[in-house]
Amino acid sequence: MKSFNKRVIQPRGLILGKFWELVDYLDSMTRYVESAFVPIGYDILLGRIVGIPLWDDTGARHTVVVGPTGRGKTSLAALVAVLSSLLHNATVVAVDPKGDLWSLLSWSGLAVHVEVESSRDAAYLASRILRALGESVGGIVVVDIRYLSEGEKYLHLETALSDAFSLLQGVGRRSLLIVDEFWRVKESYVVRKIVREGRSSGISLMLVSQQPEDFGPDVWSNSSNSVVFGSHDETYLESIKRLSGMASQDVSFIRRLGVGEALVQYHGSRRALPVRVLQAPITVKNPGVGGTGSWGRVRYGQAADSAAQR
C-alpha cells in the first residue's frame, strides 16, 4: 500500500527526514514540556506536529496502541519512553515480553535492563526494578521476560506489572508504565486494578497489542488516547469503530495507512488525526558524531527503520 510520506508539508523550523540533528529535534519539542504532551509524529495531511497528553492537572492519562504485527507499535512505544524521560523527567517502566523494546532502547544510554530468565529471578523482581531505577540515567527500566516459557510469561507478567505499579506509586513524580503484548494479560485482575487506579496515582499507562478486542470496553473507556495503526481486516475495522466510537470516514482511512502511519484519537472526540510516527533517535552510530549533548551518540538510519517494522 502506498505510503502518504510524500504528502507531508514541511513547516518552517521543523526538521523532517531521517537524519535530523538531535539538538534541532529536541528544540522543536520544547513547547511540549509544560503541556505534558509527548510528540509522536506529524499530521499526514497538514504537516503539523501531533502529540498525546500523558498527564494533566487531575492525574495521568492512559493510551491504547493497536495494530497488526509489523506496523510500528513497538517503535512508537520506545519513542514515547525516551521523550517522556527527556521532556517531562518521567520515570518509565516498560514490560517487554519479546525483547523488542530493549533492542530499541539499549543503545540510548537512558535505560537499564532487568532480565528475567527464571522464576527465581521473578521472586526478586521488585528489588531489581528499584535498584535499576536508581542506576538509570534517564529513569527508564525495561523488564525483559523473553526467555520465559509462554506459561511463565503470563504468571510473571502479572508479577512484573504489580511490582512496577507499586514502585511507581512511590516515586513522587510523573510516571509511565508501558505494557507490550498486552493480550497476554488482558484478563488479569492486576491489569484492571492498574487501569482504574493509575490515573489518580499519576501513572500513565501505554498498553500495546495487535487486536482492538484485546483491550475490552473497560480499557477503551478509561483511555484518553488511542493510536490505531493500519489494517485491511474488516473485523479489525469494525471493532475499532465499535470500541473507540471513531467516525466512519476515519475508520475507512485506516485501510490507506502505510507502515509507521496511524490514526490518533483523543477522548471525547469521534474524529481522528492521520499521523506519520517520528523515528526514535536512539541508536548508536560512531564516536565521531557530534551535537548529541548528554544523550550519547545517535543515528536515525537503519536500526530505526528496522524498528518501525516491529
Q: In the numeric block, which cell numbers belong to residue 153? A: 510469561
Rounded-to-integer distance, Cα 70 and Cα 159, Å: 28
What pLDDT, on the 0 to 100 scale, is given for residue 2?
36
pTM of the model: 0.79
Neighbours of 16 (CB within 10 A): 14
CB 280 within 8 A of CB 104: yes
231-288 per-position pLDDT tens digit? 999 999 999 999 999 999 999 999 999 999 999 999 888 889 999 998 765 433 333 3
User: Where does residue 296 rank: exposed (0-12), middle (13-18), buried (19+ CB within 10 A)?
Assistant: middle
Give the range among 1-10, 80-89, 121-130, 286-295 with minimum mean pLDDT. 286-295
Mean pLDDT of all residues in the chain? 78
pLDDT confidence bin for 200, thresholds 50/70/90: confident
Q: In the numeric block, which cell numbers belong to residue 69? A: 504485527
Rounded-to-integer distance, Cα 86 and Cα 82, Å: 6
pLDDT confidence bin for 226, thresholds 50/70/90: very high
The percent of residues in the chain predicted with pLDDT above 90, rounded, is 40
Does residue 310 surpass a pLDDT of 60? no
Give the range among 221-225, 269-273, 287-291, 302-306 with minimum mean pLDDT. 287-291
Give the range among 47-51, 78-82, 140-144, 293-297 with minimum mean pLDDT. 293-297
What pLDDT, on the 0 to 100 scale, is given for residue 28?
47
List the domain range (segments joined by +) for residue 187.
5-307
Does residue 299 surpass a pLDDT of 50? no
What pLDDT, on the 0 to 100 scale, is given for residue 285?
32
| Coil/strand/helix, residue 183 | helix
Contacts of 57 (CB under 8 A, 6+ apart): none
Report the b/e string of 97-118 with b at 16+ CB within 10 A.
bebbbbbbbbbbbbbbebebee
Rounded-to-integer distance, Cα 264 and Cα 254, Å: 11
Query: For the chain, how many structural domains are there in total?
Result: 1
What pLDDT, on the 0 to 100 scale, is given for residue 22?
44
66-123 per-position pLDDT tens digit? 999 999 999 999 999 999 998 888 999 999 999 999 999 988 788 999 998 877 777 7
| Coil/strand/helix, residue 276 | strand
Chain position carrying cell 532502547: 105
H, E, C per residue of 36-101: CEEEEEEECCCCCEEEEECEECCEECCEEEECCCCCCHHHHHHHHHHHHHHHHCCEEEEEECCCHH
The CATH number of whichever domain residue 299 belongs to comes to 3.40.50.300
